[in-house]
Structure 1
């Protein structure tokens, strides 16, 4: 079950964060203030998809990697606390703040400073999740190439 849940939930999480990031960039660069307000208002609702996906990916990944020994597994395990901390300490509070500011029409200096921080932190999480996906794909290819190899 974890072998199915893990890649699906990880992909959903990565695509969700990527959609937040790209929609923010697009709306800020090419759209009117009303579109920015809509994007910033909708992003917190995306947490109802993102948070369970991250929890499922983390839980299933922990379960899958519990008995495996590999530098790739170790790298994935080291990235996860950074991804979680970045999300809880920077991305979620920033998204809530920006949503509030956008809904009140306060596109001031603090809005754009927090927006820049959020975009940088989002890019970090996209990169880290992408690296985890890459390593997960390498691990799954390794298992399918060597069916005689013992993976507990």
Structure 2
């Protein structure tokens, strides 16, 4: 069961974060302030899906690792603190702040500066989660390893 939970939860987390990022970027570039406000106020509700998915993926991953820390497992485990810290210290507070500003229709310089920070931090997490998924696929043989 853990072998099913880990990849499903990890993929769900990655898709959720990518959806947040793409929705933010598209609405900021192409949509009205009303659409931006709708996107920014909806994102915190997505945490109800994202946080449990990340917790399930991380917990299942630790169980699958069975104490091993070398090779690709080690790489995956070393990325996790950065992904978690980025989410807890930057992305969640930024999303809540932006939702509050959007609800109040305060689309000022501070809003756009925090949104730029959020997009950069989100891109970093998407990259780190993508690398982690790639390593997991290599470990299971679903993705071929490049010869050295």
| Fold equivalence (TM over 0.5) | yes
2: distance between equivalents of 1:118 and 1:69? 31
**TM-score (normalised: structure 1):** 0.91
Q: Which residue of 2 aligns with 1:54?
A: 54
- Structure 2: where are the runs of 5+ without partners? 143-148
Distance 1:140 1:76 in 2: 14
Q: Which residue of 1 aligns with 2:30?
A: 30
User: Hey, what does 1:2 align to over in structure 2?
Assistant: 2
Alignment: residue pair count? 142
SS of the residue 2:105 aligns to: coil
Alignment of 1:1-150 (within 5 A): 1-68=1-68, 70-141=70-141
Alpha-carbon RMSD: 1.0
TM score, norm. by length of structure 2:
0.94
Q: Between Structure 1 and Structure 2, whose CA radius of gyration is higher?
A: 1
Structure 1: which 5+ residue stretches go unaligned?
Answer: 143-152
Conserved? CA contact 2:68–2:74, under 8 Å: no
- Once the 2 structures are TM-superposed, how far is the Cα of residue 66 of structure 1 from its aligned partner? 2.0
Deviation per residue, 1:53-94 (Å, 9 max, x gap): 000000000000124454100000000000000000000000
Q: Which runs of 4+ in 1 moved over 3 A?
A: 67-70
CA distance in 2, matches of 1:2, 1:67: 15
Instruction: Provide the rounded CA distance (Å) in 1 between the counterparts of 2:69 and 2:111.
Output: 45
Task: Give the direction of change, closer, same or farther, for the CA distance of 1:69–1:84 in structure 2 (3 Å limit).
Answer: closer
Moved more, 59-68 or 83-92: 59-68
